[in-house]
Every structure is written in structure tokens, then in C-alpha cells.
Amino acid sequence: MRVLVFSLGFLSFSFFLSAGLVTVDPDNFAAGIDISTAFPYVTLSSGGGATGLDGKVYAADSSQASTGSKVFANHRTSPTLWFNQNTSGGYFLRADFALPTNYVSIDIISDGGSDYPSISVYDTTGHLESVYSFTPLNAGEVYHAIIQHTTADIAYIKAGGLAVFGSAVLLDNLKFQIPEPATCLLLYFGFLLLKPSKKKKTHSAG
């Protein structure tokens, strides 16, 4: 039982130390490596039903990367491009957060001219809260898209080019916030578990 209590307390403490802004960037991985579950507190996937998708996200070399030399990629013929559409023609990047967050940012890069960035935001029930579209980008231009809510209600996002304009874009340098209140709560329960219990003294009769 002592081992279990220590493990739970240590997990809470580790979570607290990791709280704050988490950076998800493919630069630390070799090209072609599956990075879908390579980062803490987030799962990456590719979706949309387009031909060639396998549901995973990879690191890929690109001269257009906003940081370093790699971007997020899928398993299609043009792996570095993303198209935010739910139909069979889509190939969007999805990021599921372990805890709902109130802050997400990602670099969106135009591969050509007049590409419109797009991010769809969903809550914990899978309800589409909103679709954020941004001003069109020139070829090679990088847009640092930021979505910030007053409450931590962002469970996952889908990112890519805005479908209505047929825009396909590159994606790089995802960041999100781990809510501080949740981590503090975990830490509090961890300390409660670690706190030694007081043994009651018993007196024999007579």
C-alpha cells in the first residue's frame, strides 16, 4: 500500500512540475518517425478520410518549417500538406489534449498563394464550438495562430487550410496550456495520500 501511495503522490508532483505551456514540435525526431504519441498530455492524429491517411502523424523535412527543419506530416502522397475538412476529401491534423485547455497556438504556413488557415475547436462532448479562419497567406508566409478562451473548454482541435477556399497548408510548432488549477488539485490529493495517518492509542481494560 505504501508503494501505491508514493506512486500517486509522485505522479501528482510530476504533473505539477510539468504544468504550464507544452511545446509540440517535430524537430527533435528523424524524418518519417511516428510522433502521434511522442509528446506529453496530447495525442496527434490525421483525419478526414482522404486517400492514403493511416491516422498517424509523422515528422517530415521541409524548407518551409517555421522552427528548425521539420513540420507535421501525414501518410499521403503530399505528406506535409493539411486540409481542414471532415468529408472524405479532408486530411486535417487533430490534437487531443489530456486535459481540456484554454490556450492553443500553432504555426500555419502557406505552400502557395492565398492560403487560408483554419482551426476547428471542440469541447469534451465532441461538440464543435467554433471554426477560426484567418487572413490569407502569401507563398511561404507563416501565421502564428492563437486561440485563447476564458475557461479551459478546448478538448481537441483540427487544423489545416480552410476547406471552402481549397487551401492546403503546412503545420508546425504546436503549443498548448496545461491548466494550473487541475495540476494544483492533483498535487493536493497527492500530499493527502502521502500524509501519515495517526494511530489511535488503545488501552486494555483492567
pLDDT at residue 175, as a whole number? 98
Side chain identity at residue 14, one-letter code = S
Q: CA 162, CA 61: separation in Å to the nearest integer? A: 23
Residue 6, pLDDT > 90, answer: no
Least confident of 116-130, 150-164, 183-197: 183-197
Residue 11, pLDDT > 50, answer: no
Contact at 8 Å (CB) between 107 and 144? Answer: yes
Percent of all residues in the chain with a pLDDT value above 70, rounded to a whole number: 78
The HSE-up count of residue 64 (CA atoms within 13 Å, CB side) is: 20
For the chain, first and last CA: distance in Å? 35
Q: Helices (DSSP H) in 18-129: which residue ranges?
A: none
Q: Nearest-CA neighbor of 157 among 76, 110, 103?
A: 103
The HSE-up count of residue 170 (CA atoms within 13 Å, CB side) is: 29
Contact at 8 Å (CB) between 17 and 187? Answer: no
Residue 12, pLDDT > 90, answer: no
List domains and CATH numbers for the chain.
Answer: 21-179 (2.60.120.430)
Confidence of residue 16 (pLDDT cuts 50, 70, 90): very low
Side chain identity at residue 33, one-letter code = I
Q: Helices (DSSP H) in 52-133: which residue ranges?
A: none
